[in-house]
Amino acid sequence: MDAGNKLTNKKLKAILGKEIAKPAIIADGRGLSIQVSQN
C-alpha cells in the first residue's frame, strides 16, 4: 500500500489557516477528498 498523498490531520490543519483565492478540491488519490473555500 502506497502512503504517497494521504490527507493527514497535520495537512488539514495547515490548509485551515491559509487564505485562498478560489475554491479548491484536494484529494488523496484513493477516493478521499475535501473542498476548501473562503469563509
Per-residue pLDDT, averaged over 10-28, amounts to: 88
What's the confidence (pLDDT) of residue 35?
92
Residues facing residue 25 across a β-bridge: 35
User: Residue 25 belongs to what H/E stretch?
Assistant: strand 24-27
CB 25 within 8 Å of CB 34:
yes
What's the confidence (pLDDT) of residue 3?
60
Range of the domain at 19: 1-39
Predicted model pTM = 0.59
What's the confidence (pLDDT) of residue 39?
67
User: Residue 29 belongs to what H/E stretch?
Assistant: none
What's the confidence (pLDDT) of residue 4?
66
Tell me which residue of 36, 24, 34, 28 sits closest to 4, measured CA to CA.
28
Residue 2 banded pLDDT, cuts 50, 70, 90: low
User: Does the pLDDT value for residue 12 go beyond 60?
Assistant: yes
Task: Provide the domain count of the chain.
Answer: 1
CB 36 within 8 Å of CB 24:
yes
What is the residue type of 9? N
